[in-house]
Structure 1
Amino acid sequence: MTAACFPRLPWGLGLAGLIPFLALSSASWLAPMAWQVIAVPAFLYYSAVILSFLGGVQWGVAMSLESDDSGGFRSRLALSMVPSLIAWPALLLHPVIGAWVLIAGFLLVRLHECGKMSRELLPVWYQSLRNVLTAVVVVCHGLVIWRLAYG
């Protein structure tokens, strides 16, 4: 894959964004109990922020790549609000349920990004990056859920 197909900066930033997911999900298992009590809510809060950020990405796509009089523009702007409307209430729920809601949010965003309308606008490297990021994020949520429900 050439540098044009695999831009380092977005991949580096995207992978760096996984550090809190990896560190906090690990801490929910490995840290002393007093730290685990902090790690789980911190994980959920970070997750909600990142899910909301993904809505912002869609807002930016609409603003820069869609004609402002098109149906795609209107629907993408409306859909860009959904991740925040999933993320914020997830923080008000029991942590296990909230983590499941956040997983659903990440998967819904990814499903939207894989749709024809998004595939036509988003670069291939973005799709590849989001596949990796979403997979890691879902696994980290699974670890936190497992810790809370069965650990």
Structure 2
Amino acid sequence: MTPAMESRLPWQLGLGGLAPFLATASGMWLAPVAWQAALLMAFLAYGAVILSFLGGIHWGLVMVAPRSAEVATRGRWLASMAPSLLAWPALLVGGLAGTGLLALGFVLVMGLEQRHRRRLALPAWYLSLRWLLTLVVLACHGLVIWRLAAG
């Protein structure tokens, strides 16, 4: 299987995974007010799941990485847990604060991946996909934050 074919399915799945973000963020603006609390909860829940999933990717990377300095490995284990530890309180606080906390989590994971891209040994297509997905996810968070701030 060629590298292009090998990365096609993750791209398709990643792009498909944007549908809940796009649907709930647009619903916050277009749906009746009575539905907005449920849409916000769905947005936050899905965001927390995806942010935790990103942490799981890094947990897996640490498990299969060649053993290097103990301190570096310890830091990578801790960093792989951080997304879940941001996602859970975001669900608890909800609303504007929870949405902002999730957005921060997505920014931090992207920053981690960019800063350590060589050491993480990620496939070439992965960071391109992650950039696109993160930009759309953050745009959706921006729409939800704007809606919540607008009242």
Q: Same fold (TM over 0.5)?
A: yes
CA distance in 1 between partners of 2:22 and 2:66 (Å) = 35
Amino acid at match of 2:34: A
Distance 1:44 1:94, change over 3 A: closer
Matching residue of 1:119 = 118
Structure 1 gaps, min length 5: none
Matching residue of 1:4 = 3
CA distance in 2 between partners of 1:10 and 1:56 (Å) = 16
CA distance in 1 between partners of 2:10 and 2:133 (Å) = 12
RMSD (Å) for aligned C-alpha atoms:
1.7
Is the CA contact (8 Å cut-off) linking 2:48 and 2:84 kept in structure 1?
yes
Shift of 1:101: 0.9
Amino acid at match of 1:55: G
Matching residue of 2:138 = 138
Structure 2 gaps, min length 5: none
Shift of 1:5: 4.6
Shift of 1:70: 4.5
Amino acid at match of 2:63: M
CA distance in 2 between partners of 1:137 and 1:112 (Å) = 17
Name the SS for the 2:92 alignment partner: coil
Alignment of 1:1-150 (within 5 A): 4-5=3-4, 7-67=7-67, 70-116=70-116, 118-120=117-119, 121-150=121-150
Amino acid at match of 1:62: V
Name the SS for the 2:67 alignment partner: coil
**TM-score by structure 1 length?**
0.90
Q: Give the number of aligned pairs.
A: 148
Q: Which moved more, 1:81-90 or 1:32-41?
A: 32-41
What fraction of aligned residue pairs are identical, expressed as a percent?
A: 54
Shift of 1:124: 1.7
Shift of 1:132: 0.3
Is the CA contact (8 Å cut-off) linking 2:44 and 2:94 kept in structure 1?
no
Shift of 1:64: 1.6
**TM-score by structure 2 length?**
0.90
Following TM superposition, the consecutive aligned residue runs of length 4 or more in structure 1 with deviations greater than 6 angstroms are: none
Amino acid at match of 2:92: L
CA distance in 1 between partners of 2:149 and 2:109 (Å) = 26
CA distance in 2 between partners of 1:66 and 1:44 (Å) = 35
